[in-house]
């Protein structure tokens, strides 16, 4: 799937914008601070319900506005190698009518989806998918799979386990349909147990449910980690990154099972008022030479490993579901030398699918591996124009 149309209002410095995007290579140019990244954040919102820069979506609202609005129309793309939609879009100009756009979606051999999203300072996030209210952020991911490679992607390596769990669970959802419901049920049971720990009630009443759901969640995550190994190894070689192992900490100590850990840690859990062990503590472990990667690699190497995580996952998803997610690349050359930038962009080009890339100028050397862009947009003073 790819994003065919984007409309937004009051997203950071952007008062209003409307873009009709190509299913392959879209380039967004403009000076620093012009709003290029804000456009990518709006696209990411459609598929994740949050920004890749901040978990507080209300921070994206333009400072003088009460709310932001983002609308996207998602098309189902033809199989790789089919040039029908390319030719149809290539002949359309920026004044294409809605009839042209509907025809393009019909040529893409599948129905379109629409996502309408808003976020206000008082009521938070709300979204509709094909006119129906969204009940879970997972519904956005299903309608519009999207991945971001931004200058902050080094946080996947550098920071704590929350970001790595989010990176992993997004993919687990796509291959394990029951994962989201299991995770939501586990979260409810965990909150009940923690409330009991704080109040002095019998917290063990919830242990059976935590163990049952915890085993399901852990098994799904471990299956994904194991399936990802060949993609991870191949991507590290492609990017000429440091040999880095990818393992996991399941959230409790091997070889004990979760039931035993909960019973053993009950006194400490009561003292802290929270549950110390379980899949909510799961982490993806990256090691170089047996040591935690974040402790020994440079910022540039952290970014390269973070990019490898995103790209390996995109390759895996492309193999499993038949098409890669939309990739957002924000200033991809930042903190990478020319050699590794070339390797990254070549790998992105080979992956195919829709790419939305930002750059200061369309002639930047880092873009050459992607070929000529199919659509070029320019952002200046908060306004977006197609070139």
Q: What is the pLDDT of residue 294?
A: 93
* pLDDT at 81 (0 to 100): 43
CATH entry, 153-324, from 3.30.465.10, 1.20.1050.90, 2.40.50.1070, 3.40.50.740:
1.20.1050.90
In this structure, the dihedral spanned by the alpha carbons of residues 364, 365, 367 and 368, taken in order and rounded to 10 degrees, is: 130
Which 3 state secondary structure label does DSSP give 137? helix
pLDDT at 221: 97
Superfamily of domain 1-145+332-387: P-loop containing nucleotide triphosphate hydrolases (3.40.50.300)
Q: At what angle do helices 161-175 and 179-199 cross, to 10 degrees?
A: 140
- For the chain, residues with pLDDT lower than 70 are 77-111
Dihedral (CA of 353, 359, 362, 364) sign:
negative
| pLDDT score of 90 | 40
Map out the domains of the chain as residue ranges.
1-145+332-387, 153-324
pLDDT at 247: 96
Provide the pLDDT for residue 56: 86
At residue 214, what are phi and psi to the nearest 5 degrees? -60, -40
Residue-level pLDDT at 327: 96
Strand (E) or helix (H) holding 5: strand 2-11
Question: 357 in helix, strand or coil?
Answer: strand
Q: How far apart are CA 174 and CA 179, in angstroms?
A: 9
Supply the pLDDT for residue 110.
52
Diameter of the chain measured on Cα atoms = 69
CA–CA dist 37, 34 (Å, integer): 8
């Amino acid at each position: 799937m790819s994003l065919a149309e984007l409309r937004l209002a009051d997203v950071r410095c952007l008062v209003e914008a409307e873009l009709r995007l190509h299913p392959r290579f879209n380039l967004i140019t403009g000076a620093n601070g012009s709003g290029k990244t804000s456009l990518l954040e709006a696209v990411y919102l459609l598929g994740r319900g949050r920004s890749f820069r901040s978990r507080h979506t209300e921070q994206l609202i333009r400072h003088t506005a009460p709310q932001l609005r983002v609308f996207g129309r998602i098309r189902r793309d033809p199989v790789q190698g089919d040039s029908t939609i390319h030719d149809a879009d290539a002949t359309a100009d920026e004044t294409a009518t809605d009839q042209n756009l509907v025809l393009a979606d019909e040529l893409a051999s599948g129905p379109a989806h629409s996502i309408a999203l808003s976020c206000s300072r008082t009521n938070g996030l709300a979204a509709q998918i094909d006119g129906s209210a969204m009940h879970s952020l997972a519904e956005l991911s299903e309608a519009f799979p999207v991945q971001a490679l931004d200058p902050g992607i080094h946080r996947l390596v550098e920071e704590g386990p929350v970001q790595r769990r989010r990176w992993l669970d997004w993919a687990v959802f796509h291959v394990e349909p029951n994962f989201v419901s299991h995770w939501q049920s586990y979260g409810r049971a965990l909150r009940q147990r923690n409330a009991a720990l704080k109040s002095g009630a019998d917290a063990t009443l919830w242990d059976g449910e935590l163990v049952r759901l915890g085993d399901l969640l852990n098994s799904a995550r471990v299956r994904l980690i194991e399936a990802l190994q060949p993609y991870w190894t191949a991507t590290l070689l492609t990017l000429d990154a440091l040999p880095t192992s990818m393992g996991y900490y399941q959230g409790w100590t091997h070889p004990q099972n979760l039931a035993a850990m909960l019973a053993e840690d009950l006194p400490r859990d009561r003292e802290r008022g929270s549950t110390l062990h379980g899949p909510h503590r799961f982490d993806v472990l990256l090691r170089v030479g047996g040591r935690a990667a974040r402790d020994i690699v440079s910022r540039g190497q952290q970014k390269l490993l973070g990019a490898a995580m995103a790209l390996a996952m995109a390759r895996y998803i492309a193999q499993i579901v038949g098409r890669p997610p939309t990739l957002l690349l924000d200033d991809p050359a930042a903190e990478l030398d020319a050699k590794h930038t070339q390797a990254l962009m070549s790998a992105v080009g080979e992956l195919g699918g829709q790419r939305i890339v930002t750059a200061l100028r369309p002639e930047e050397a880092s873009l050459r591996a992607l070929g000529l862009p199919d659509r070029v947009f320019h952002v200046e003073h908060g306004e977006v124009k197609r070139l």
